């Protein structure tokens, strides 16, 4: 629990990726997504909660007509350690077999969450399935999995901001920062 603004600010170690850098890469990623479909409508599927900010920016940057869907998958319950258990707590309400699907993910860390989501969606026979991830931490991968587009590859540091949390805080930061794990 964060008790004050001072405590909140003390947890932000340094900015790793600025708002400006994110904006640039989003424009590039959106162009790439547009180029895959040649105007054919798609379904963007985002995994809550971490990817909600990225989804909001990506869906406004693409020009291909898109529907938006959300799923809730959790593997981090609190703090900075993965529990290793992936739970689908909210499912899509779309019939995936009718769509070209693009998964919009915040970060691929161990790869477990996304791997489970991909398996689940593939089993529903989408017309096609692609993955766009904002961040990739390849050093921590335990499941073989690669995105079609990765905006930023980052070192093995726990990060916060732009949708990503620590203990449910910091999702609201407009940039991506390294989290300060030191106790005061
Ligand atoms: P994975 O299953 O280990 O690939 O990661 C699952 C989820 O853990 C991601 O979608 C994020 O929501 C969360 N996560 C992984 N690394 C970080 C981090 O550095 N900061 C905040 N959340 C993270
Ligand atoms: Mg996530």
The CATH number of residue 148's host domain is 3.40.50.2020
- What's residue 65's pLDDT? 98
Q: Would you say residue 81 lies in a domain?
A: yes
- Asked if residue 33 is part of any domain, the answer here is yes
| Ion ligand 2 nearby residues (CB, 5 A) | 47, 50, 106
Residue 160 lies in a domain: yes
- Whether residue 175 is contained in a domain is answered as yes
Active site residue 148: no
Ligand nearest to the CA of 112: 1
Distance from the alpha carbon of residue 151 to the mean position of ligand 2, in angstroms: 15
Ligand 1 atom 7, closest CA: 75
CB-facing half-sphere around the CA of 166: CA atoms within 13 A: 22
Q: Which residues contact residue 164 at a Cβ distance below 8 angstroms, ignoring those fewer than 6 apart?
A: 50, 106, 107, 135, 170, 171, 176
pLDDT at 180: 96
Q: List pLDDT tens digits, range 46-97.
A: 999 999 999 999 999 999 999 999 999 876 544 555 555 667 889 999 999 9
DSSP E strand boundaries for 36-139: 42-48, 66-74, 87-90, 100-108, 128-136
pTM above 0.85, yes or no: yes
Tokens of 150: 């990765």
Q: Which residue has a Cα nearest atom 11 of ligand 1?
A: 107
pLDDT at 1: 87
Question: Containing domain of residue 123, as a range?
Answer: 5-179
30 located within any domain: yes
Residue 151 included in any domain: yes
Pocket-forming residues, ligand 1, beta carbon under 6 Å? 50, 75-76, 82, 106-114, 158-160, 164
- Residue 184 within any structural domain of the chain: no
> Domains in the chain: how many in total?
1
Residue 108 CA, ligand 2 centroid: distance in Å: 8
* Active-site residue, from 106, 109, 136, 165: 109
Round to whole Å and give the CA distance between 58 and 158: 23
In a domain, 71, yes or no: yes
Supply the pLDDT for residue 77: 47
How far is ligand 1, taken at its centre, from the CA of residue 173, in Å? 16
User: How far apart, in Å, do the first and last CA atoms of the chain sit?
Assistant: 14
Low-confidence ranges of the chain (pLDDT < 70): 75-86, 184
Q: What is the CA(14)–ligand 1 centre distance, in A?
A: 19
């Amino acid at each position: 629990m964060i008790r004050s603004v001072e405590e909140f600010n003390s947890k932000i170690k340094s900015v790793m990726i600025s708002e400006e850098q994110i904006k640039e890469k989003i424009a590039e990623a959106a162009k790439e997504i547009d180029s895959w479909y040649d105007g054919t409508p798609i379904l963007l599927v985002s995994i809550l909660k971490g990817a909600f900010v990225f989804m909001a920016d990506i869906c406004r940057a693409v020009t291909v007509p898109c529907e938006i869907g959300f799923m809730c998958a959790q593997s981090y319950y609190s703090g900075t350690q993965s529990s290793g258990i992936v739970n689908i707590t909210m499912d899509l309400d779309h019939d995936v077999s009718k769509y070209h699907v693009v998964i919009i993910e915040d970060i691929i860390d161990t790869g477990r969450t996304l791997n489970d989501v991909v398996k689940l969606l593939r089993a529903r026979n989408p017309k096609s399935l692609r993955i766009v991830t904002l961040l990739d931490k390849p050093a921590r991968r335990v499941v073989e999995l690669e995105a079609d587009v990765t905006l930023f590859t980052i070192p093995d540091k726990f990060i916060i901001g732009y949708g990503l949390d620590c203990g449910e805080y910091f999702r609201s930061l407009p940039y991506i920062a390294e989290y300060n794990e030191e106790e005061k």
